[in-house]
Amino acid sequence: SDGLVAAMPYNSNKELEHGHDNTVAPPTGETIAPDSSALTASTRTEGSESAKTGAAARLGTNATIASLDRVRVDPSDRSLTTNQGVIIGDNQNTLKAGLRGPSLLEDFVLREKVTHFDNERIPERIVHARGSGAHGYFEAYDALTEYTRAAPFAEKGKVTPVFVRFSTVAGERGSKDTARDVRGFAVKFYTDEGNWDLVGNNMPVFFIQDAMKFPDLVHAVKPEPHHGMPQAASAHDTFWDFVSLMPESTHMLMWVMSDRAIPRSFRMMQGFGVHTFRLLNQKGESVFCKFHWKPIQGTHSLFWDEAVKISGADPDFHRRDLWEAIESGDFPEWELGLQIFTEIQADGFSFDVLDSTKLIPEELVPVTPVGRMILNRNPDNFFAETEQVAFCTAHIIPGIDFSNDPLLAGRIHSYADTQITRLGGPNFHEIPINSPLAQVQNNQRDGMHRQALHRGRVAYEPNSLSGGCPFQAGTTGFTSFPAAITDDKVRGKPEKFAEHYAQATLFLESQTAVERAHIAAAFRFELSKVGVTAIRERMLSSLVNVSRELAAEVAVGLGMRVPEPMPRAIDEPEAPEVTVSRALSLMALPGESGIRTRQIAVLVEEGVHHASLVSLHEALTEAGAVVHFVGPRVGMFVGDSGEKIEANRSMENSPGFLFDALVVPDGSEAIEALAGNGHTMAFIIDQFRHCKPILALGAGRELLETAGLGSVLDEDEGILMADAVDTANIAPAFIAVVAAHRYLSRDSDPPLI
């Protein structure tokens, strides 16, 4: 087109998919043979060094990509065939006895097509059904051999390919992205000593202490069984009934009621391995550790009002965000950090490190950065990769081991078990996205959908007929840490598990005022959706143990009195070591200070001041933002100088709350037309209410006044105004304003406007 057009995402690492370079396209219509040289070079790229260690690792390439080539299929220039490879002549009509006659049973083309279609779906994950995945790599900053012999940490600069899947927990596969919920953060490391799955969440603690309660927790939060409602929401009776009877969930409830549960983007959330794990070095010495992922993009969240609206306008908000960022070559990045501590240290803590409802404050054990993870390639096929990927906490490698966390113990069983149903049998490790790059050799045989063709007559060990192969490798193979056990066989909990409130209070006390207010509002909202008053009251009584002020605030919002505190399981718990931890506030990790990947809406109409938008578009795009021209409709608009601007979005298909910032243009004709459009007013009000930066050029100011912002225009630091001719000068100031994300002084409960 000949007008000013917003840039489309384009990832130079995926030229083939975009048809930009046909000369290197795979042979059309064929599956591609495995590239064995790429496979063996796989996870070891000594030349790959980062900002910390030197030149960057090669982007867009990793060993999983090469291994997946063997199953990539490209249909260009090929005719349709059946699954048996028979070329199909007619894909429109059933075989019939005469044009108006009955269909014939022998029509194998029709029957094969429909039968396959009938079986296209597999069971969705019982939890974490909705998600989004991406390929990338992990790069170690330094050798970590002092603590662990785990392959990814073997040497400085070592690169290990990964596949990551982010998810919501409660919603079904087709639910919305912006539900209030925990987010899954599961990483599969394809190491050269086998696959290691770090199956974490975006919160460092969990609802329950023992896997025995997991089915109860999930049954409580999922849609209520009699009517199947509500979808992807914890705001209903059964969830609050359960958690109010399970005080151990209180700490996690603080996290889930905080804005952590409504992230701005998968790219902007932390990840945590949650449990205490063990690291083992070559000598068999062991330390405990917790895993932390820190987003380089910073931690950012939505407002609840925003999340609710986005779920209607774009249920795929997070999936789209991740996809577009990677597709445009703006690769999300996380730093992996470890909290390393000894068993003796752990024994001295006021809480139990085997209790997944507790975290270890960073003030007690600092987080040591050990590497970075970059996601640089979208999957080729959602089903084959993101849906079929199977994470299992049981997948660990030499150098990593479990702790005795009873929640982890249940998980070690649960994941492999669920894949057998979900993926149709015990051979799910052979599905390309799940198969390790390390060679698999054992005597496991047969089962549904077996892919490997095992040669020879030996499928047992020991054997002599196959020269004893494959043989067990002794201490060079996986060895469990020989933790001493001398105890009775019991069902029960260690004493420190009985303390349920200290860290809930710690979390609350560590929040900024805005975050705290949002936590209170979230409790109010959720409990207001609970029909049974006794449940509300029980939950309030538990909150009193966390903070009387919080309980009082929530109670006011529900028109209730603050009840007596719930009796505690333990009268005199040990005093906590840390009572405020800055790291627990979202604001503690602002991340990058620029505006990369920020979505900026520029309103356009007929007669809009053209030159200023050209220069602004250039400056914002240059700074890495994604600029969208949003009109009353999509298509071309003629600016004041006769030049054209193309709106790639309309206010109808993309309401204001989908954007991070707003530019209101100059041009009196345009402003008059926009002022007469109710969509514009809603657009502006949402931008203001959600505390987002706004720039008004020239007559654009009048539009903000029409929207009711007149009284605050000159005081609000997040609203800039400039003459259109001054755009070049105002651009850097606007970029700085956008970089600050939100202007929280506007945030009030209820909203002012």
Q: Which residues bind ligand HDD (CB under 6 A)?
A: 125-128, 131, 165, 167, 184, 186, 199-201, 206, 211, 214, 274, 356, 389, 391, 407, 410-411, 414-415, 418
- 360 or 566: CB nearest ligand HDD: 360
**Which of 11, 62, 201, 427 is labelled catalytic?**
201
- 184 or 399: CB nearest ligand HDD: 184
Backbone torsions φ then ψ of 295, nearest 5 degrees: -75, 130
Structure tokens at 554: 């929530």
Which residue type is seen at 314?
A: D
Backbone torsions φ then ψ of 635, nearest 5 degrees: 110, -170
Edge to edge, what strands does the sheet with 649-650 contain? Answer: 649-650, 626-631, 599-603, 661-664, 694-697, 719-722
CB of 217 to ligand HDD, least distance (A): 8
128 included as an active-site residue: yes
User: Are the C-beta atoms of 248 and 267 separated by less than 8 Å?
Assistant: no
CB of 337 to ligand HDD, least distance (A): 17
- 149 or 318: CB nearest ligand HDD: 318
Output Rg (C-alpha) for the chain, integer angstroms.
Answer: 28
What DSSP designation does 705 have? I
SS3 710: coil
CB of 155 to ligand HDD, least distance (A): 29
CB of 496 to ligand HDD, least distance (A): 18
Strand partners, 587: none
CB of 389 to ligand HDD, least distance (A): 6
- The Cα–Cα gap between 341 and 688 comes to 46
- SS in 3 state form for 493-514? CCHHHHCCCHHHHHHHHCCCHH
CA atoms within 13 A on the CB side of 144: 27
Neighbouring CB atoms inside 10 A of 509's CB total: 15
- 231 or 466: CB nearest ligand HDD: 231
SS3 189: strand
Cis ω before 75 (30° cut-off from 0): no
CB of 122 to ligand HDD, least distance (A): 12
CB of 181 to ligand HDD, least distance (A): 12
Structure tokens at 237: 């009776």
**Which of 11, 13, 62, 128 is labelled catalytic?**
128
- The Cα–Cα gap between 240 and 236 comes to 7
User: Are the C-beta atoms of 114 and 39 separated by less than 8 Å?
Assistant: no
What DSSP designation does 71 have? G
- 210 or 605: CB nearest ligand HDD: 210
- SS in 3 state form for 414-445? HHHHHHHHHCCCCCHHHCCCCCCCCCCCCCCC
CB of 179 to ligand HDD, least distance (A): 15
443 included as an active-site residue: no
Q: Which of 65, 64, 60, 81 is nearest to 26 (CA)?
A: 65
Which runs of consecutive H residues, i.e. helices, occur in 88-236?
Answer: 108-118, 214-221
User: Are the C-beta atoms of 519 and 254 separated by less than 8 Å?
Assistant: yes
User: Are the C-beta atoms of 522 and 180 separated by less than 8 Å?
Assistant: yes
Structure tokens at 64: 């999983």
CB of 240 to ligand HDD, least distance (A): 20
- 236 or 411: CB nearest ligand HDD: 411
- 507 or 734: CB nearest ligand HDD: 507
- 44 or 422: CB nearest ligand HDD: 422
Residue with smallest beta-carbon separation from ligand HDD: 184
- 98 or 225: CB nearest ligand HDD: 225
- Reported residue count of the chain is 753
- The Cα–Cα gap between 187 and 454 comes to 30
CB of 390 to ligand HDD, least distance (A): 6
Return all residues near 179 (Cβ < 8 A) that are at least 6 apart.
168, 170, 171, 232, 233, 307, 311
- Contacts of the segment 220-225: beta carbons below 8 A, 24+ positions apart: 221/169, 221/170, 222/170
- 494 or 710: CB nearest ligand HDD: 494
User: Are the C-beta atoms of 66 and 39 separated by less than 8 Å?
Assistant: yes
- The Cα–Cα gap between 265 and 597 comes to 11
CB of 444 to ligand HDD, least distance (A): 20
- SS in 3 state form for 574-632? CCCCCCCCHHHCHHHCCCCCCCCCCEEEEECCCCCCHHHHHHHHHHHHHCCCEEEEEEC
Return all residues near 429 (Cβ < 8 A) that are at least 6 apart.
390, 435, 436, 440
- Report the catalytic residues: 128, 201
